[in-house]
Amino acid sequence: MGNSVINPRFTSLKNSMNMRIVIRIVTLISIAFFGILHSGLQAQNDLFVCLQSGISMPLGQFAGTTLDEDCFARPGISYGGEATWFFLPNFGVGIEANINNNPIDLATLTQKKMEAEPSLENLTIRSESFQTATIVGGVYGRYSILEGLTFTGKLLAGYMRSNTPYQVYRAQFYFIGPLTYEITSSRDDGFIVIPGLGMSYMFKRGLGCKLDGEYISRQMSFPFSTPTGVRIDERKVRFIQVLVGLVIEF
C-alpha cells in the first residue's frame, strides 16, 4: 500500500529548468515566425489559420496495462489551432498548439489492482483523464494534387507538457474494512519534435478543410512524494493524433 498512497505533487528542479529552456525555444520560434510574417505578408497571400479537433490514439507503454509500468490510456479527444504562412509556392512556416485528453481504462486498471492485492474485497476508482499539451513551430511543405486539393507535410519542434490523472480509490479490504485514498496529479515537460502529414481542400471563397496526422512521442519523468521519499515514474507518452480542421485563408 505504500506505493499507492501519494501525497500532493512534487515539483522537481529538473522540471523547472526544462520549462525555462523550452519556453525560450518556443518564444524564439514564435518571434521568428511573426517576424517573417510581418516582413513578407504583403508579397504573398498564403496565410492560413485553422481550428482543429480529432482523436488521439495511444501507443505502446502509454496504452499498456501493466501495473507500475504503463499508463492505461484509452483513445481520447484532441483540439487546438494552427497558423501557417507559405512565403514560397511550396514551402512555409507555422505554429501549432494542441491539447489532448486521454481517459483511463478504469475497468482494466481495477481488475489488475484486484489481482495484485489478494486482500482486496472490492475496489472503486474515479479518475481524471491523462492530459498532454503541445506548443510547437516549424517548417511546412505542400504539393498540389488537383485544383484545390493539396498534400502537406510538416516538421515541428517546441514544448510538450503531460499531466498524470488525479485519482480517488475506495477500497474494501478483508479483515481491515473500507479505506479511501488518492493519487494526486504529477507533471513533466520538455522539448518535443513532431512530424506530420495531411491533406487539405480549399473552396473558392477562402474557406477549406483539412485532415492531418501527427506522431507524438517523448519519455516523461513524473515525480511523486511518498511516505518513503520521492518516487520517479518513467513513462513514454506516445500517441498518434488525427485532426480534422476548418481552414480560413487570409
Domain locations in the chain as residue ranges: 13-249
Decide which of 8 and 169 is more confident.
169
Q: How far apart are CA 120 and CA 143, in angstroms?
A: 59
User: 25 CB contacts (<8 Å, ≥6 apart)?
Assistant: 157, 158, 159, 191
Q: How far apart are CA 195 and CA 213, in angstroms?
A: 9
Tens digits of per-residue pLDDT, 110-145? 999 999 988 889 999 999 999 999 999 999 999 999
Q: Is the pLDDT of residue 27 over 90?
A: no
- Count CB neighbours of 63 within 10 A: 18
The answer regarding whether domain 13-249 maps to CATH 2.40.160.20 reads: yes
In this prediction, residue 4 carries a pLDDT of: 42
Of all residues in the chain, what percent carry a pLDDT higher than 70? 82
Q: How far apart are CA 160 and CA 137, in angstroms?
A: 12
- Please provide the size of the chain in residues: 250
Tens digits of per-residue pLDDT, 148-186? 899 999 999 999 999 999 999 999 988 888 889 899 999
Q: Is the pLDDT of residue 7 over 70?
A: no
Q: Sheet containing 167-173: give its strands across.
A: 120-127, 167-173, 177-183
Tens digits of per-residue pLDDT, 206-242? 899 999 999 999 999 999 988 888 999 999 999 999 9
Q: What are phi and psi of 36, to 5 degrees?
A: -65, -40
For the chain, counts of helices (H) and of strands (E): 2, 11
End-to-end CA distance of the chain: 58
CA quadruple 184, 71, 66, 190: dihedral sign: negative
Q: What are phi and psi of 165, to 5 degrees?
A: -80, 145
Q: Which amino acid is at 225?
A: S
User: 20 CB contacts (<8 Å, ≥6 apart)?
Assistant: none
Which of 154, 144, 134 has its CA nearest to residue 198?
Answer: 154
- Count CB neighbours of 119 within 10 A: 11
Task: Record the pTM.
Answer: 0.81
Q: How far apart are CA 215 and CA 194, in angstroms?
A: 6
In this prediction, residue 200 carries a pLDDT of: 95
In this prediction, residue 176 carries a pLDDT of: 82
Q: Is the pLDDT of residue 24 over 70?
A: no
